[in-house]
A and B are shown apart, each in its own frame.
Chain A
Protein backbone atom coordinates (compact mmCIF):
# COMPACT_ATOMS: atom_id res chain seq x y z
CA UNK A 1 0.00 0.00 0.00
CA UNK A 2 1.51 3.33 -0.97
CA UNK A 3 0.90 6.61 0.78
CA UNK A 4 -1.64 7.77 -1.78
CA UNK A 5 -3.66 4.61 -1.42
CA UNK A 6 -3.48 4.86 2.34
CA UNK A 7 -4.58 8.47 2.40
CA UNK A 8 -7.31 7.78 -0.13
CA UNK A 9 -8.49 4.76 1.85
CA UNK A 10 -8.62 6.83 4.99
CA UNK A 11 -10.51 9.53 3.14
CA UNK A 12 -13.06 7.06 1.80
CA UNK A 13 -13.56 5.57 5.25
CA UNK A 14 -13.93 8.97 6.83
CA UNK A 15 -16.28 10.19 4.15
CA UNK A 16 -18.41 7.08 4.41
CA UNK A 17 -18.53 7.35 8.19
CA UNK A 18 -19.30 11.03 8.08
CA UNK A 19 -22.14 10.58 5.65
CA UNK A 20 -23.57 7.68 7.56
CA UNK A 21 -23.02 5.34 4.65
CA UNK A 22 -22.07 2.02 6.15
CA UNK A 23 -19.55 -0.10 4.30
CA UNK A 24 -21.31 -2.69 2.21
CA UNK A 25 -18.80 -5.17 3.57
CA UNK A 26 -19.80 -4.70 7.16
CA UNK A 27 -22.66 -7.13 6.91
CA UNK A 28 -23.86 -9.71 4.45
CA UNK A 29 -24.85 -8.03 1.25
CA UNK A 30 -28.60 -7.65 0.85
CA UNK A 31 -30.40 -8.30 -2.44
CA UNK A 32 -30.25 -5.51 -5.03
CA UNK A 33 -32.70 -2.65 -4.46
CA UNK A 34 -33.90 -3.15 -8.02
CA UNK A 35 -33.92 -6.30 -10.12
CA UNK A 36 -34.04 -4.36 -13.38
CA UNK A 37 -30.92 -3.00 -15.02
CA UNK A 38 -30.36 -1.33 -18.36
CA UNK A 39 -27.05 -1.33 -20.21
CA UNK A 40 -26.09 -0.58 -23.82
CA UNK A 41 -25.25 -2.70 -26.79
CA UNK A 42 -22.66 -1.03 -29.03
CA UNK A 43 -20.88 -2.32 -32.13
CA UNK A 44 -17.54 -2.29 -30.31
CA UNK A 45 -15.92 -5.58 -29.35
CA UNK A 46 -13.69 -4.07 -26.68
CA UNK A 47 -16.63 -3.73 -24.31
CA UNK A 48 -17.18 -7.50 -24.43
CA UNK A 49 -17.36 -7.64 -20.62
CA UNK A 50 -20.60 -5.66 -20.90
CA UNK A 51 -21.93 -7.54 -23.91
CA UNK A 52 -21.52 -10.90 -22.18
CA UNK A 53 -22.47 -9.91 -18.66
CA UNK A 54 -26.12 -10.98 -18.67
CA UNK A 55 -25.68 -14.39 -16.97
CA UNK A 56 -23.43 -12.84 -14.34
CA UNK A 57 -25.93 -10.05 -13.74
CA UNK A 58 -28.68 -12.65 -13.38
CA UNK A 59 -26.51 -14.46 -10.84
CA UNK A 60 -26.31 -11.19 -8.90
CA UNK A 61 -30.08 -11.04 -8.55
CA UNK A 62 -31.10 -9.02 -11.59
CA UNK A 63 -34.07 -10.64 -13.27
CA UNK A 64 -34.66 -8.08 -16.00
CA UNK A 65 -31.43 -7.26 -17.86
CA UNK A 66 -31.93 -5.00 -20.84
CA UNK A 67 -29.40 -3.92 -23.45
CA UNK A 68 -30.36 -0.83 -25.41
CA UNK A 69 -28.91 -0.67 -28.87
CA UNK A 70 -26.93 2.51 -29.46
CA UNK A 71 -25.33 3.89 -32.56
CA UNK A 72 -22.14 5.36 -31.11
CA UNK A 73 -20.34 7.02 -28.24
CA UNK A 74 -22.46 10.16 -28.25
CA UNK A 75 -25.57 8.07 -27.88
CA UNK A 76 -24.02 6.16 -24.95
CA UNK A 77 -23.20 9.34 -23.07
CA UNK A 78 -26.61 10.89 -23.71
CA UNK A 79 -28.54 7.85 -22.55
CA UNK A 80 -26.42 7.45 -19.43
CA UNK A 81 -26.80 11.10 -18.46
CA UNK A 82 -30.55 11.02 -19.05
CA UNK A 83 -31.00 7.85 -17.02
CA UNK A 84 -32.26 5.84 -19.99
CA UNK A 85 -29.54 3.37 -19.12
CA UNK A 86 -28.15 2.68 -15.67
CA UNK A 87 -24.62 1.38 -16.14
CA UNK A 88 -22.29 1.39 -19.14
CA UNK A 89 -18.76 0.54 -20.09
CA UNK A 90 -17.40 3.53 -21.96
CA UNK A 91 -14.19 5.37 -22.85
CA UNK A 92 -12.88 7.68 -20.13
CA UNK A 93 -12.51 10.75 -22.36
CA UNK A 94 -16.16 11.47 -23.16
CA UNK A 95 -17.09 10.58 -19.57
CA UNK A 96 -14.75 13.29 -18.31
CA UNK A 97 -16.28 15.78 -20.74
CA UNK A 98 -19.76 14.93 -19.47
CA UNK A 99 -18.70 15.27 -15.83
CA UNK A 100 -17.15 18.61 -16.73
CA UNK A 101 -20.47 19.65 -18.23
CA UNK A 102 -22.24 18.76 -14.99
CA UNK A 103 -23.99 15.64 -16.18
CA UNK A 104 -25.14 13.26 -13.42
CA UNK A 105 -22.79 10.35 -14.00
CA UNK A 106 -20.48 8.48 -11.63
CA UNK A 107 -17.40 6.57 -12.72
CA UNK A 108 -17.09 3.36 -10.70
CA UNK A 109 -14.03 1.48 -11.98
CA UNK A 110 -11.64 1.05 -14.84
CA UNK A 111 -11.92 -2.16 -16.83
CA UNK A 112 -9.16 -2.27 -19.41
CA UNK A 113 -6.62 -0.28 -21.37
CA UNK A 114 -5.88 -0.34 -25.05
CA UNK A 115 -8.96 -0.21 -27.27
CA UNK A 116 -7.92 2.33 -29.81
CA UNK A 117 -5.39 2.32 -32.59
CA UNK A 118 -4.49 5.28 -34.77
CA UNK A 119 -3.86 4.28 -38.37
CA UNK A 120 -2.14 6.49 -40.87
CA UNK A 121 -0.93 6.56 -44.43
CA UNK A 122 2.77 6.82 -45.25
CA UNK A 123 2.41 10.55 -44.80
CA UNK A 124 1.81 10.07 -41.08
CA UNK A 125 4.56 8.40 -39.04
CA UNK A 126 3.85 10.09 -35.69
CA UNK A 127 1.04 12.06 -34.06
CA UNK A 128 2.79 15.36 -34.72
CA UNK A 129 2.62 14.59 -38.46
CA UNK A 130 -1.14 15.11 -38.25
CA UNK A 131 -0.69 18.89 -38.47
CA UNK A 132 -2.49 20.02 -41.60
CA UNK A 133 -3.65 16.49 -42.42
CA UNK A 134 -7.14 15.11 -42.95
CA UNK A 135 -8.42 12.89 -40.18
CA UNK A 136 -11.75 11.05 -40.16
CA UNK A 137 -13.98 10.56 -37.13
CA UNK A 138 -17.64 9.51 -36.85
CA UNK A 139 -18.57 12.69 -34.97
CA UNK A 140 -16.94 15.87 -33.76
CA UNK A 141 -17.28 17.12 -30.24
CA UNK A 142 -16.77 16.00 -26.70
CA UNK A 143 -19.18 13.08 -26.95
CA UNK A 144 -17.26 11.31 -29.65
CA UNK A 145 -14.77 8.78 -28.29
CA UNK A 146 -12.68 8.96 -31.44
CA UNK A 147 -12.54 12.74 -31.52
CA UNK A 148 -11.82 13.04 -27.80
CA UNK A 149 -9.05 10.46 -27.90
CA UNK A 150 -7.45 12.13 -30.92
CA UNK A 151 -7.80 15.53 -29.29
CA UNK A 152 -5.98 14.21 -26.22
CA UNK A 153 -3.20 12.78 -28.38
CA UNK A 154 -2.86 15.99 -30.37
CA UNK A 155 -2.76 18.09 -27.20
CA UNK A 156 -0.12 15.78 -25.78
CA UNK A 157 2.27 16.70 -28.62
CA UNK A 158 1.40 20.39 -28.59
CA UNK A 159 -1.10 20.49 -31.45
CA UNK A 160 -4.46 22.21 -31.24
CA UNK A 161 -7.27 19.90 -32.37
CA UNK A 162 -9.47 22.92 -33.10
CA UNK A 163 -7.22 24.34 -35.82
CA UNK A 164 -4.26 22.08 -36.63
CA UNK A 165 -6.21 19.21 -38.22
CA UNK A 166 -8.76 19.01 -41.04
CA UNK A 167 -11.57 16.87 -39.71
CA UNK A 168 -14.03 14.94 -41.80
CA UNK A 169 -16.99 13.18 -40.24
CA UNK A 170 -18.25 9.95 -41.68
CA UNK A 171 -19.00 6.39 -40.61
CA UNK A 172 -15.98 4.16 -39.81
CA UNK A 173 -16.56 1.87 -42.79
CA UNK A 174 -16.33 4.83 -45.15
CA UNK A 175 -13.21 6.08 -43.35
CA UNK A 176 -11.48 2.74 -43.73
CA UNK A 177 -12.25 2.73 -47.45
CA UNK A 178 -10.92 6.26 -47.84
CA UNK A 179 -7.79 5.44 -45.85
CA UNK A 180 -7.12 2.54 -48.21
CA UNK A 181 -7.51 4.90 -51.16
CA UNK A 182 -5.29 7.54 -49.57
CA UNK A 183 -8.12 10.09 -49.50
CA UNK A 184 -7.69 10.68 -45.78
CA UNK A 185 -4.45 10.65 -43.81
CA UNK A 186 -5.49 9.03 -40.56
CA UNK A 187 -8.28 7.17 -38.85
CA UNK A 188 -8.76 6.12 -35.23
CA UNK A 189 -10.39 2.73 -34.99
CA UNK A 190 -11.75 0.63 -32.19
CA UNK A 191 -12.26 -3.15 -32.32
CA UNK A 192 -12.89 -4.80 -34.69
CA UNK A 193 -11.76 -1.96 -37.01
CA UNK A 194 -8.02 -2.12 -36.18
CA UNK A 195 -8.04 -5.88 -36.61
CA UNK A 196 -9.70 -5.51 -40.02
CA UNK A 197 -7.29 -2.78 -41.15
CA UNK A 198 -4.29 -4.85 -40.13
CA UNK A 199 -5.65 -7.98 -41.80
CA UNK A 200 -6.22 -6.05 -45.02
CA UNK A 201 -2.89 -4.25 -44.68
CA UNK A 202 -4.52 -0.84 -44.92
CA UNK A 203 -2.28 1.93 -43.61
CA UNK A 204 -0.06 1.33 -40.62
CA UNK A 205 -0.40 1.68 -36.86
CA UNK A 206 0.80 5.07 -35.66
CA UNK A 207 -0.31 4.64 -32.05
CA UNK A 208 -1.56 1.54 -30.31
CA UNK A 209 -3.17 2.45 -27.02
CA UNK A 210 -2.51 -1.08 -25.79
CA UNK A 211 1.24 -0.90 -26.37
CA UNK A 212 2.36 2.73 -26.62
CA UNK A 213 3.01 4.95 -23.65
CA UNK A 214 1.56 6.98 -22.13
CA UNK A 215 -1.78 5.68 -23.44
CA UNK A 216 -1.10 2.10 -22.43
CA UNK A 217 -0.72 3.19 -18.81
CA UNK A 218 -4.28 4.41 -18.39
CA UNK A 219 -7.67 2.83 -18.57
CA UNK A 220 -9.58 3.17 -21.77
CA UNK A 221 -13.03 1.87 -20.86
CA UNK A 222 -14.51 2.49 -17.44
CA UNK A 223 -17.66 1.30 -15.73
CA UNK A 224 -19.91 4.27 -15.16
CA UNK A 225 -23.34 4.61 -13.67
CA UNK A 226 -26.07 7.17 -13.82
CA UNK A 227 -25.61 9.13 -10.59
CA UNK A 228 -29.20 8.80 -9.42
CA UNK A 229 -29.13 5.06 -10.02
CA UNK A 230 -25.89 4.70 -8.05
CA UNK A 231 -27.17 6.79 -5.15
CA UNK A 232 -30.54 5.10 -4.93
CA UNK A 233 -29.26 1.58 -5.55
CA UNK A 234 -25.86 1.09 -3.93
CA UNK A 235 -26.26 -2.66 -3.54
CA UNK A 236 -27.45 -3.09 -7.11
CA UNK A 237 -24.57 -0.92 -8.26
CA UNK A 238 -22.04 -3.02 -6.42
CA UNK A 239 -23.58 -6.23 -7.73
CA UNK A 240 -23.58 -4.90 -11.29
CA UNK A 241 -19.96 -3.85 -10.95
CA UNK A 242 -19.07 -7.29 -9.58
CA UNK A 243 -20.68 -8.92 -12.61
CA UNK A 244 -18.78 -6.66 -15.00
CA UNK A 245 -15.45 -7.23 -13.27
CA UNK A 246 -16.01 -10.97 -13.34
CA UNK A 247 -16.92 -10.70 -16.99
CA UNK A 248 -13.68 -8.81 -17.68
CA UNK A 249 -11.75 -11.57 -15.93
CA UNK A 250 -13.49 -14.14 -18.10
CA UNK A 251 -12.34 -12.20 -21.19
CA UNK A 252 -8.77 -12.35 -19.90
CA UNK A 253 -8.86 -15.97 -18.87
CA UNK A 254 -10.85 -17.48 -21.71
CA UNK A 255 -10.39 -15.40 -24.85
CA UNK A 256 -11.36 -18.22 -27.22
CA UNK A 257 -14.67 -18.87 -25.50
CA UNK A 258 -15.49 -15.17 -25.35
CA UNK A 259 -14.56 -14.69 -29.01
CA UNK A 260 -16.89 -17.52 -30.00
CA UNK A 261 -19.67 -15.95 -27.95
CA UNK A 262 -19.15 -12.59 -29.66
CA UNK A 263 -19.54 -14.28 -33.04
CA UNK A 264 -22.53 -16.32 -31.90
CA UNK A 265 -24.25 -13.20 -30.61
CA UNK A 266 -23.67 -11.30 -33.83
CA UNK A 267 -21.15 -8.68 -32.70
CA UNK A 268 -18.84 -9.71 -35.53
CA UNK A 269 -18.76 -12.34 -38.22
CA UNK A 270 -14.99 -12.69 -37.92
CA UNK A 271 -13.89 -15.01 -35.15
CA UNK A 272 -10.26 -14.09 -35.82
CA UNK A 273 -10.91 -10.40 -35.17
CA UNK A 274 -12.79 -11.17 -31.99
CA UNK A 275 -10.03 -13.46 -30.74
CA UNK A 276 -7.32 -10.92 -31.55
CA UNK A 277 -9.27 -8.29 -29.64
CA UNK A 278 -9.64 -10.51 -26.60
CA UNK A 279 -5.95 -11.42 -26.62
CA UNK A 280 -4.62 -7.94 -27.30
CA UNK A 281 -6.64 -5.99 -24.77
CA UNK A 282 -5.42 -6.53 -21.21
CA UNK A 283 -8.64 -7.35 -19.41
CA UNK A 284 -6.83 -8.43 -16.27
CA UNK A 285 -5.63 -5.00 -15.12
CA UNK A 286 -8.73 -3.69 -13.43
CA UNK A 287 -7.26 -4.24 -9.99
CA UNK A 288 -3.77 -3.06 -10.98
CA UNK A 289 -4.22 0.32 -12.63
CA UNK A 290 -5.41 3.34 -10.71
CA UNK A 291 -8.65 4.80 -12.09
CA UNK A 292 -7.91 8.12 -10.39
CA UNK A 293 -4.73 8.41 -12.42
CA UNK A 294 -6.65 7.77 -15.62
CA UNK A 295 -9.13 10.55 -14.96
CA UNK A 296 -6.37 12.91 -13.91
CA UNK A 297 -4.32 12.17 -17.02
CA UNK A 298 -7.18 12.55 -19.50
CA UNK A 299 -8.64 15.55 -17.69
CA UNK A 300 -5.31 17.35 -18.11
CA UNK A 301 -5.02 16.41 -21.79
CA UNK A 302 -8.60 17.44 -22.49
CA UNK A 303 -8.08 20.69 -20.63
CA UNK A 304 -5.10 21.38 -22.89
CA UNK A 305 -7.30 20.54 -25.87
CA UNK A 306 -9.93 23.03 -24.73
CA UNK A 307 -12.55 20.33 -24.17
CA UNK A 308 -12.91 20.54 -20.39
CA UNK A 309 -12.67 23.45 -18.01
CA UNK A 310 -12.69 21.89 -14.54
CA UNK A 311 -9.54 20.78 -12.75
CA UNK A 312 -8.79 17.05 -12.52
CA UNK A 313 -9.49 17.15 -8.79
CA UNK A 314 -12.90 18.69 -9.42
CA UNK A 315 -13.69 16.09 -12.09
CA UNK A 316 -12.73 13.30 -9.68
CA UNK A 317 -14.67 14.82 -6.80
CA UNK A 318 -17.78 15.38 -8.89
CA UNK A 319 -17.86 12.20 -10.89
CA UNK A 320 -16.36 9.19 -9.15
CA UNK A 321 -17.14 6.71 -6.42
CA UNK A 322 -14.43 4.08 -5.90
CA UNK A 323 -16.03 2.61 -2.77
CA UNK A 324 -17.54 -0.31 -4.62
CA UNK A 325 -14.32 -1.10 -6.46
CA UNK A 326 -12.24 -1.03 -3.29
CA UNK A 327 -14.58 -3.53 -1.66
CA UNK A 328 -14.71 -5.79 -4.70
CA UNK A 329 -10.93 -5.91 -4.96
CA UNK A 330 -11.04 -7.76 -1.66
CA UNK A 331 -13.91 -10.05 -2.62
CA UNK A 332 -12.69 -11.12 -6.05
CA UNK A 333 -9.27 -12.62 -6.42
CA UNK A 334 -7.55 -14.11 -9.43
Chain B
Protein backbone atom coordinates (compact mmCIF):
# COMPACT_ATOMS: atom_id res chain seq x y z
CA UNK B 1 0.00 0.00 0.00
CA UNK B 2 1.39 3.39 -0.90
CA UNK B 3 2.26 5.65 2.03
CA UNK B 4 -0.33 8.31 1.18
CA UNK B 5 -3.09 5.72 0.89
CA UNK B 6 -2.01 4.20 4.18
CA UNK B 7 -1.99 7.58 5.91
CA UNK B 8 -5.41 8.40 4.43
CA UNK B 9 -6.75 5.13 5.80
CA UNK B 10 -5.22 5.77 9.22
CA UNK B 11 -6.59 9.33 9.38
CA UNK B 12 -10.03 8.24 8.17
CA UNK B 13 -10.12 5.48 10.75
CA UNK B 14 -9.06 7.89 13.48
CA UNK B 15 -11.67 10.46 12.40
CA UNK B 16 -14.41 7.83 12.43
CA UNK B 17 -13.30 6.65 15.83
CA UNK B 18 -13.36 10.24 17.12
CA UNK B 19 -16.84 10.82 15.73
CA UNK B 20 -18.21 7.71 17.42
CA UNK B 21 -16.24 8.21 20.62
CA UNK B 22 -18.53 8.25 23.66
CA UNK B 23 -19.04 11.56 25.36
CA UNK B 24 -16.86 12.23 28.37
CA UNK B 25 -18.14 11.44 31.85
CA UNK B 26 -17.58 14.74 33.59
CA UNK B 27 -19.09 13.80 36.92
CA UNK B 28 -22.40 13.37 38.74
CA UNK B 29 -24.80 16.10 37.62
CA UNK B 30 -25.57 18.51 40.47
CA UNK B 31 -28.79 17.43 42.15
CA UNK B 32 -31.83 19.65 42.54
CA UNK B 33 -35.43 19.53 43.66
CA UNK B 34 -37.57 22.39 42.38
CA UNK B 35 -41.20 23.24 41.62
CA UNK B 36 -42.56 22.49 38.16
CA UNK B 37 -45.11 24.45 36.11
CA UNK B 38 -47.86 22.17 37.41
CA UNK B 39 -46.92 22.88 41.03
CA UNK B 40 -45.33 19.50 41.69
CA UNK B 41 -41.90 19.19 43.21
CA UNK B 42 -39.53 17.56 40.72
CA UNK B 43 -36.03 16.33 41.41
CA UNK B 44 -33.28 15.40 39.01
CA UNK B 45 -33.12 12.01 40.72
CA UNK B 46 -36.69 11.29 39.57
CA UNK B 47 -35.54 11.67 35.99
CA UNK B 48 -32.94 8.95 36.37
CA UNK B 49 -33.39 6.59 33.44
CA UNK B 50 -33.90 9.43 30.97
CA UNK B 51 -31.36 11.55 29.14
CA UNK B 52 -31.87 15.07 30.45
CA UNK B 53 -31.02 18.45 28.92
CA UNK B 54 -30.90 21.22 31.55
CA UNK B 55 -31.11 24.86 30.43
CA UNK B 56 -31.54 28.19 32.24
CA UNK B 57 -34.07 30.82 31.12
CA UNK B 58 -36.60 33.27 32.49
CA UNK B 59 -40.09 33.91 31.24
CA UNK B 60 -40.01 37.67 30.76
CA UNK B 61 -36.73 37.58 28.85
CA UNK B 62 -37.30 39.18 25.48
CA UNK B 63 -34.06 38.62 23.67
CA UNK B 64 -32.08 35.42 24.02
CA UNK B 65 -34.15 33.04 26.16
CA UNK B 66 -36.94 32.78 23.57
CA UNK B 67 -34.35 31.79 20.96
CA UNK B 68 -32.98 29.09 23.22
CA UNK B 69 -36.40 27.74 24.12
CA UNK B 70 -37.45 27.74 20.47
CA UNK B 71 -34.27 25.87 19.61
CA UNK B 72 -35.04 23.28 22.26
CA UNK B 73 -38.60 23.01 20.93
CA UNK B 74 -37.13 22.25 17.51
CA UNK B 75 -34.96 19.55 19.03
CA UNK B 76 -37.93 18.07 20.84
CA UNK B 77 -39.73 17.69 17.50
CA UNK B 78 -36.72 15.99 15.94
CA UNK B 79 -36.41 13.58 18.84
CA UNK B 80 -39.82 12.19 17.96
CA UNK B 81 -40.92 9.29 20.12
CA UNK B 82 -37.70 9.40 22.14
CA UNK B 83 -38.88 12.66 23.70
CA UNK B 84 -40.72 11.98 26.91
CA UNK B 85 -39.99 8.31 27.53
CA UNK B 86 -36.26 8.52 26.96
CA UNK B 87 -35.33 12.22 26.80
CA UNK B 88 -36.47 15.02 29.09
CA UNK B 89 -35.86 18.74 28.98
CA UNK B 90 -35.56 20.85 32.13
CA UNK B 91 -35.66 24.64 31.87
CA UNK B 92 -34.75 26.26 35.17
CA UNK B 93 -35.75 29.87 35.71
CA UNK B 94 -33.16 32.39 36.81
CA UNK B 95 -35.91 34.79 37.90
CA UNK B 96 -37.65 32.92 40.73
CA UNK B 97 -39.26 36.06 42.16
CA UNK B 98 -41.38 36.58 39.05
CA UNK B 99 -41.50 33.10 37.54
CA UNK B 100 -44.17 31.34 39.55
CA UNK B 101 -45.42 27.94 38.38
CA UNK B 102 -48.35 29.71 36.66
CA UNK B 103 -46.05 32.08 34.81
CA UNK B 104 -43.88 29.18 33.70
CA UNK B 105 -46.94 27.18 32.60
CA UNK B 106 -48.01 30.03 30.33
CA UNK B 107 -44.45 30.33 29.04
CA UNK B 108 -44.41 26.58 28.34
CA UNK B 109 -47.73 26.84 26.51
CA UNK B 110 -46.25 29.45 24.18
CA UNK B 111 -43.73 26.87 23.01
CA UNK B 112 -46.17 24.00 22.90
CA UNK B 113 -44.29 22.44 25.79
CA UNK B 114 -47.35 20.77 27.17
CA UNK B 115 -47.52 17.15 28.20
CA UNK B 116 -44.79 15.09 29.78
CA UNK B 117 -41.13 15.45 29.05
CA UNK B 118 -40.44 19.14 29.50
CA UNK B 119 -40.29 20.64 32.96
CA UNK B 120 -40.06 24.36 33.65
CA UNK B 121 -38.79 24.70 37.18
CA UNK B 122 -38.79 27.42 39.76
CA UNK B 123 -38.07 27.60 43.46
CA UNK B 124 -37.07 29.93 46.22
CA UNK B 125 -34.33 32.43 45.35
CA UNK B 126 -31.94 30.43 47.53
CA UNK B 127 -32.81 27.17 45.78
CA UNK B 128 -32.34 28.71 42.34
CA UNK B 129 -29.09 30.39 43.38
CA UNK B 130 -27.80 27.02 44.55
CA UNK B 131 -28.67 25.32 41.26
CA UNK B 132 -27.17 28.05 39.07
CA UNK B 133 -24.00 28.08 41.15
CA UNK B 134 -23.59 24.31 41.01
CA UNK B 135 -24.10 24.25 37.24
CA UNK B 136 -21.72 27.19 36.73
CA UNK B 137 -24.28 29.69 35.46
CA UNK B 138 -23.98 33.41 36.19
CA UNK B 139 -27.30 35.06 36.99
CA UNK B 140 -27.73 38.54 38.37
CA UNK B 141 -30.88 40.61 38.61
CA UNK B 142 -30.63 44.08 37.10
CA UNK B 143 -32.22 47.19 38.63
CA UNK B 144 -34.79 47.34 35.84
CA UNK B 145 -35.87 43.76 36.57
CA UNK B 146 -34.12 41.90 33.78
CA UNK B 147 -31.78 39.08 34.68
CA UNK B 148 -28.28 39.05 33.32
CA UNK B 149 -27.34 35.43 32.91
CA UNK B 150 -25.21 33.08 30.90
CA UNK B 151 -26.54 30.32 28.70
CA UNK B 152 -25.39 26.83 29.42
CA UNK B 153 -27.12 23.62 28.38
CA UNK B 154 -25.99 20.49 30.19
CA UNK B 155 -26.67 16.99 28.89
CA UNK B 156 -27.04 14.34 31.57
CA UNK B 157 -27.12 10.63 30.88
CA UNK B 158 -29.59 8.09 32.24
CA UNK B 159 -27.34 7.36 35.18
CA UNK B 160 -27.33 11.01 36.23
CA UNK B 161 -23.84 11.69 34.92
CA UNK B 162 -23.02 15.07 33.38
CA UNK B 163 -21.67 14.28 29.90
CA UNK B 164 -21.31 17.49 27.90
CA UNK B 165 -22.12 21.17 28.19
CA UNK B 166 -23.07 23.56 25.41
CA UNK B 167 -22.16 27.22 25.84
CA UNK B 168 -24.37 30.00 24.53
CA UNK B 169 -27.23 29.53 22.15
CA UNK B 170 -25.48 29.44 18.80
CA UNK B 171 -24.49 25.82 19.13
CA UNK B 172 -25.14 23.37 16.34
CA UNK B 173 -28.58 21.90 17.08
CA UNK B 174 -27.82 18.87 14.94
CA UNK B 175 -24.75 18.17 17.00
CA UNK B 176 -26.79 18.33 20.19
CA UNK B 177 -29.36 16.05 18.62
CA UNK B 178 -26.61 13.54 17.81
CA UNK B 179 -25.33 13.76 21.38
CA UNK B 180 -28.80 13.23 22.82
CA UNK B 181 -29.38 10.24 20.55
CA UNK B 182 -25.97 8.81 21.32
CA UNK B 183 -26.76 8.99 25.04
CA UNK B 184 -30.13 7.33 24.45
CA UNK B 185 -28.61 4.52 22.41
CA UNK B 186 -25.64 4.17 24.73
CA UNK B 187 -27.82 3.61 27.74
CA UNK B 188 -30.43 1.58 25.86
CA UNK B 189 -27.76 -0.93 24.85
CA UNK B 190 -26.72 -1.58 28.44
Contacts and interface: CB of A to CB of B under 8 A. Distances in A.
Contact of B167 (A60, A243, A253, A330): A253
Nearest to A1: B15
Interface in B75-102: none
A9 B5 CA distance: 20
A334 interface: yes
Interface stretch (A51-59, A265-273, A312-320): A51-59
A331 B14 contact: no
A58 B30 CA distance: 13
Contacts of A333: 164-167, 171-172, 175-176
A197 to B, nearest CB: 30
Contacts of A124: none
Most buried by A among B164, B165, B166, B176: B165
A: contact size bracket: 20 to 34
Contacts of A163: none
A6 B18 CA distance: 10
Contact of A27 (B25, B164, B165): B25
B173 to A, nearest CB: 11
Nearest to B136: A59
A66 interface: no
A323 to B, nearest CB: 13
A299 B170 CA distance: 36
Contacts, number: 82
B11 A6 contact: yes
B141 interface: no
A171 B10 CA distance: 54
Nearest to B8: A3
Contacts of B7: 3
B111 to A, nearest CB: 22
A72 B84 CA distance: 55
Contacts of A28: 25-28, 161
Interface string A24-59: 011111100000000000000000000000011011
A26 B21 CA distance: 12
B134 interface: yes
Interface string A66-77: 000000000000
Contacts of B23: 330-331
A332 B163 CA distance: 9
B145 interface: no
A91 to B, nearest CB: 25
B24 A249 contact: no
A325 to B, nearest CB: 13
Given A250-B138, A254-B150, A330-B23, A6 B165 contact: no
A331 B136 CA distance: 14
Contact of A56 (B10, B25, B136, B151): B136
A59 B15 contact: no
Interface in A247-271: 249-250, 252-254, 257, 260
Contacts of B171: 333-334
Nearest to B139: A55
A334 B173 CA distance: 10
B11 A2 contact: yes
Nearest to B21: A330
A246 interface: yes
A29 B29 CA distance: 11
A15 to B, nearest CB: 17
Interface in A130-184: none
B133 interface: yes
Contact of B24 (A6, A59, A250, A327): A327
A249 B24 CA distance: 20
A328 to B, nearest CB: 9
A6 B10 CA distance: 9
Nearest to B153: A333
Nearest to B150: A250
B80 to A, nearest CB: 23
B138 A25 contact: no
Given A9-B14, A330-B164, A334-B166, 5 more contacts: A1-B15, A253-B167, A254-B150, A331-B24, A334-B167
List 6 A-B pairs, minimum CB-CB distance, nearest first. Answer: A59-B136, A253-B168, A334-B167, A249-B167, A29-B27, A25-B24
10 contacts: A28-B25, A29-B26, A30-B27, A55-B138, A246-B167, A327-B24, A330-B21, A331-B26, A333-B166, A334-B166
